[in-house]
């Protein structure tokens, strides 16, 4: 039983490390800020949750503190990513327009309209 | 202390030097504030490796939250670009 | 299982390197803030991994403080970019 829990913990740690690496790779390779935000925030949230969960399997008496850390990461990471996206949109950074995807353009125009409405 | 821990220490030292160079030379003071926050982050990992968790706690509290808030409020009340 | 932990440490260090390259290259200030956010979450995982390697529960508390306070700096820089504060 001990070894089953240990192997499960090692599996979760491996998944978490892989997601962290993929998130950082996406933050390096993506073209503009909004897609960088997408890669850098969601993938690293999943990665850190997986790694903390695996450490909780390996040391079961640490589990309450680790659950508190996971709850705080789940609360605070979407707030910060939303604030960065809103701030960069309001400070005038345009998304790189792609001809085949029109939703980018619609989102940009909608953001400009909301700025005019507030002014 | 294992091999990869030594590698992380060397890597963190490189990060510290590059971040300090950014703080010293950038004209955009907001970028200098972000670099200062990254320096505090790496320094906290160093204190943890040197087995001083209380100092790492204080560094995390002061360096990430308080210093950034004070610097950003100061930049807002003065100018963002250095001349 | 020491070799396994060494490999995981190497992967997390590689993730830190890639985020820092984006901080150095980033054209605007907002890209650098994204790099700071990703590095903060990666460092939370790294501190928990060091706590498991050294077998001391007090090291988890540093990671807890980062998870509670780490987003305040990012939040206030984003509010400044918006023109809010």
3-state SS record for chain A: CHHHHHHHHHHHHHHHHHHHHHHHHHHHHCCCHHHHHHHHHHHHHHHHHHHHHHHHHHCHHHHHHHHHHHHHHHHHHHHHHHHHHHHHHHCCCCCCCCCCCCHHHHHHHHHHHHHHHHC
Note whether C11 contacts B: Cβ–Cβ < 8 A: no
Please give the residue that has the higher pLDDT: either C14 or B1.
C14
Q: How many domains does chain B have?
A: 1
How many structural domains are present in chain C? 1
**Share of residues in chain C with pLDDT > 90 (%):** 26
Closest in C35, C57, C68 to A72, CB measured: C68
- CA distance between the termini of chain A: 64
The whole-number pLDDT of residue A66 equals 92
In which domain, by residue range, is B35 found? Answer: 3-77
- CB proximity B75 to C under 8 Å: yes
Query: How far C10 CA sits from the closest chain A CA (Å)?
Result: 10
ipTM for the complex? Answer: 0.89
On the question of pLDDT at A102 being above 60, the answer is: no
* Paired tokens of C20: 């820092």
* Domain contains B82: no
Q: Which domain holds residue C21?
A: 2-82
Inform me whether the pLDDT recorded for B76 exceeds 80. Answer: yes
- Per-residue pLDDT of A35-84, as tens digits, reads 888 888 889 899 999 999 999 988 888 899 999 999 999 998 999 988 88
pTM for this model (two decimals): 0.88
């Amino acid at each position: 039983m001990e070894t089953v829990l240990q192997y499960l913990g090692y599996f979760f740690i491996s998944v978490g490390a892989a997601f962290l690496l993929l998130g950082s790779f996406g933050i390096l390779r993506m073209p503009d800020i909004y897609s960088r935000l997408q890669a850098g925030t969601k993938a690293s949230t999943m990665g850190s949750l997986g790694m903390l969960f695996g450490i909780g399997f390996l040391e079961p008496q640490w589990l309450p503190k680790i659950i508190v850390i996971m709850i705080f990461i789940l609360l605070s990471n979407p707030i910060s990513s939303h604030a960065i996206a809103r701030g960069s949109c309001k400070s005038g950074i345009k998304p790189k327009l792609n001809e085949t995807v029109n939703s980018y353009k619609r989102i940009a125009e909608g953001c400009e309209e909301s700025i005019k409405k507030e002014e | 202390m294992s091999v990869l821990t030594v590698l992380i220490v060397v890597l963190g030292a490189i990060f510290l030097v590059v971040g300090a160079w950014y703080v010293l030379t950038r004209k955009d003071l907001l970028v200098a504030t972000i670099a200062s926050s990254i320096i505090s982050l790496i320094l906290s990992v160093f204190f943890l490796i040197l087995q001083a968790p209380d100092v790492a706690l204080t560094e995390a509290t002061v360096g990430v939250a308080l210093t950034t808030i004070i610097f950003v409020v100061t930049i807002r009340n003065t100018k963002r670009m250095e001349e | 299982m020491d070799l396994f932990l060494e490999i995981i440490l190497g992967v997390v260090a590689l993730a830190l390197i890639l985020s820092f390259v984006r901080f150095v290259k980033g054209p605007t200030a907002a890209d650098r803030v994204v790099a700071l956010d990703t590095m903060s979450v990666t460092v939370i995982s790294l501190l928990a991994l060091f706590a498991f390697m050294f077998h001391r529960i007090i090291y988890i508390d540093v990671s807890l403080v980062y998870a509670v306070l780490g987003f305040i700096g990012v939040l206030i820089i984003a509010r400044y970019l918006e023109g809010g504060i």
